């Protein structure tokens, strides 16, 4: 999902928001586990997904997936280097 998301980013998602085209979602996929992808299109009961990184291909983007596989819509992204560091010396 580069450049939108980087390795080590923290994401927060909401399971109650409706999926919409262009939204970044968390998807549960058999054989792949949890994935973060962008919605390319929506039909009655399926969605087509895409990744933001055009240099890499994901096999989950080859075919529509059931809407029911969407766990939630990403609402916040925090980069690890943007989080305040709290150090405690013992």
Confidence of residue 90 (pLDDT cuts 50, 70, 90): very low
> Is the per-residue pLDDT at 72 higher than 60?
yes
Does residue 81 or residue 86 have the better pLDDT?
81
Please tell me whether the overall predicted TM-score, pTM, comes out greater than 0.75 for this model.
Answer: yes
| Banded model confidence at residue 12, pLDDT cuts 50, 70, 90 | very high
**Strand order, beta sheet including 33-42:** 10-14, 70-78, 24-29, 33-42, 46-50, 65-66
């Amino acid at each position: 999902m580069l450049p939108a998301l980087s390795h080590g980013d923290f994401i927060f998602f909401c399971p109650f928001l409706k999926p919409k085209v262009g939204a970044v979602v968390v998807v549960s996929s058999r054989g792949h586990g949890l994935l973060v992808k962008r919605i390319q299109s929506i039909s009655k009961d399926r969605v087509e997904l895409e990744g933001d990184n055009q240099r890499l291909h994901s096999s989950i983007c080859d075919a529509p997936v059931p809407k029911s596989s969407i766990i939630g819509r990403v609402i916040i992204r925090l980069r690890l280097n943007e989080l305040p560091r709290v150090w405690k010396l013992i």
